[in-house]
Structure 1
Amino acid sequence: MTNTVFGFLRCYVLLAVAGAAGTAGGYDRPQLATFVWVGQGLLTVVLLWGWTELADRIRTGDVTADLLRPVHPVTAYLATDLGRAGHAALARLLPPVVVAPFFFELYLPTRWPTVLLFAGSATAAVVICFACRYLVNATAYWLADVRGPLVLWTLGSGVLCGLYFPLRFLPEWLYQALWIATPFPSLLQTPLDVLVERDPAPVQVALVAVQAGWVVVLLAACRWVQRRAERRLAVQGG
């Protein structure tokens, strides 16, 4: 329900930005409406915020039980998160998408591969966001209080992932730098741009390839940080 309410607010704001010209940042009005409404549904699928399970288990010491299990902690938490995302896709993504056509004109993809690319892009976004959240939570191995990193993640991810406004509204040099140098646009901006066919097909494929690169890099970083944390626990006698 909350996502739907904010969908109306954000959609009217962006359509007002488009104004009489009917376009803004290279998006026409149906593309902007689709960007907003699918983005509202993807927000819960990707789950930018609200996950502190690892940090909580580190704080209480329950994480030691995770280390005794035969499955690597990163793999175990990722499998759980993928299951959660699958459920959210049905329970939280579909309602805004069903409501929106009654009030706004939405954009329907004109190229059939777009649907497959969007599915792959959204899946990659889930994995990338999980890895980022895991790394933020893992700071609890070294910090007594992770509220600082969590606040920074909340503020940075919301602004830089395309949730509040399409990153294409920014100067070209800036949003291209964000796409290449940070994983944030891969969380929401890329799947939504793929869906509304903001770019030609080769560029769409390249954007999803960038996501795939971030998946590899960030999951490797999660495993490296986890390995360093386990050594720290062993040194401390944990």
Structure 2
Amino acid sequence: MRTTVRVYWRLLRAGFQRQSAYRLAALGGLVANTTFGLLKVAVLFATVRAAGGSLAGYDVGRMGTYVWISQAMLGSVNLHGRTDIAERIKDGRVAVDFLRPLDVQAAEITTEVGRSLFALIPRGLPMIAIGAVVGMAAPESAAAYPLGVLSVLLGIVISSATAYLVGVAGFWLVETRGLQVCYMVVSGFLAGLFVPIQLFPRWLLLVAHASPFPSMMMYPIEILSGRVGLAGALALLGAQLAWLAGVGGLGQALTRAGRRHLEVQGG
């Protein structure tokens, strides 16, 4: 057990260190996040003011919190659907992964989470600092901070686990770039990247809640912004855990089915 934990810890560190090599890319991401964050502030603040100062429970302060936390999480939450497993399936290297004494899904997700955690340093924290200067509303309860951090971590893991599903579709599709594009469009919209999902029509809001995407970004924002109380925060955390279990179980099933398919095709 201790050896297994040590191995996954090293995979987490390897993912973190691998992403830290791309420092100029992180700087470029920070500039892009800041630019789009300021654009979103201008548009959404004007929308709130035009609605009389409150829109779906968002005033200017809470809308600012939404904007800057979503921008802070953008580099760490996998909403683009790209994963290493897709390439390894395409070129056949996944056969070597199956020979290793590690769970293929767990190893892939752990490495991806390590890369995502690094992005919080050069891109996430500066976004929060900029938001504090531009204008953000602080939560009324101090419990929102530890619960929010836990929710952010769960959101990162859920996004990695869901993107893994796109990658393992390569066992049947071989080329997954088209699926990745569809995933990127749908996930960003339903996760609340562009506007809070509370602004959606009711039918679309129900569609969003019936998917894992709000668990990646919108639920952590709701908790960190203090829009939900302690009971609401615990309910959102419970929903995240449920989605993680569901997506993780589906990933296990697809990995086993894909392995059988790969063996049949490979002879």
Do both share a fold (TM > 0.5)?
Answer: yes
Number of aligned residue pairs? 236
The aligned counterpart of 1:183 is: 212
Is 2:8 the partner of 1:8?
no
CA distances 1:94-152 after superposition (whole Å, capped 9, x unpaired): 111112233x2211122111111111111111111111110011111101321221111
Say whether 1:145 aligns with 2:175.
Answer: yes
State whether structure 2 residue 88 is matched by structure 1 residue 53: no
> Which consecutive residues of structure 1, in runs of 5 or more, have no partner in the other structure?
none
SS of the residue 1:145 aligns to: coil
Identical residues among aligned pairs (%): 34
Alignment of 1:88-167 (within 5 A): 88-102=119-133, 104-167=134-197
Q: CA deviation at 1:171?
A: 3.0
Aligned residue type for 1:131: A
Equivalence for 1:231: 260
Residue 260 of structure 2 aligns with an amino acid whose one-letter code is: R
Deviations 1:51-104 (A, max 9, x none): 2311111111111111111111111112112211221111210111112233x2
- Judged with a 3 Å threshold, the aligned counterparts in structure 2 of structure 1 residues 206 and 10 are, in CA distance, closer, same or farther, namely same
CA displacement at 1:50 relative to structure 2: 5.9
1:16 deviates by 0.6
Q: CA deviation at 1:8?
A: 0.1
SS at structure 2 position matched to 1:24: coil
* Counterpart position of 2:239: 210
Q: CA deviation at 1:173?
A: 5.1
CA distance in 1 between partners of 2:74 and 2:162 (Å) = 15
CA distance in 1 between counterparts of 2:246 and 2:110 reads: 18
Question: Does the aligned pair in 1 maintain the 2:138–2:226 contact within 8 Å?
Answer: no
Aligned-partner SS, 1:94: helix
Paired with 1:86 and 1:109, the residues of 2 have a C-alpha distance of 23
In structure 1, give the amino acid aligned to 2:140.
T
1: distance between equivalents of 2:130 and 2:165? Answer: 35
Matching residue within 188, 194, 207 for 2:223: 194
- Determine which of 48, 67, 73 is the counterpart of 2:104: 73
2:73–2:120: 8 Å Cα contact kept in structure 1? Answer: yes
RMSD: 1.5
Structure-2 separation of matches of 1:19 and 1:204: 28
Q: Which runs of 4+ in 1 moved over 6 A?
A: none
Deviation at 1:177, TM superposition (A): 4.5
Residues 91 and 119 of structure 1, relative CA distance in 2, 3 Å threshold: same
Name the structure 2 match of 1:27.
Answer: 58
Letter in 2 for 1:40: Q
Three-state SS of the structure 1 residue aligned to 2:101 is coil
Partner of 1:220: 249
- Counterparts of 1:115 and 1:170, CA distance in 2: 27
Alpha-carbon distance between aligned partners in 2 of 1:24 and 1:15, rounded to the nearest angstrom: 10
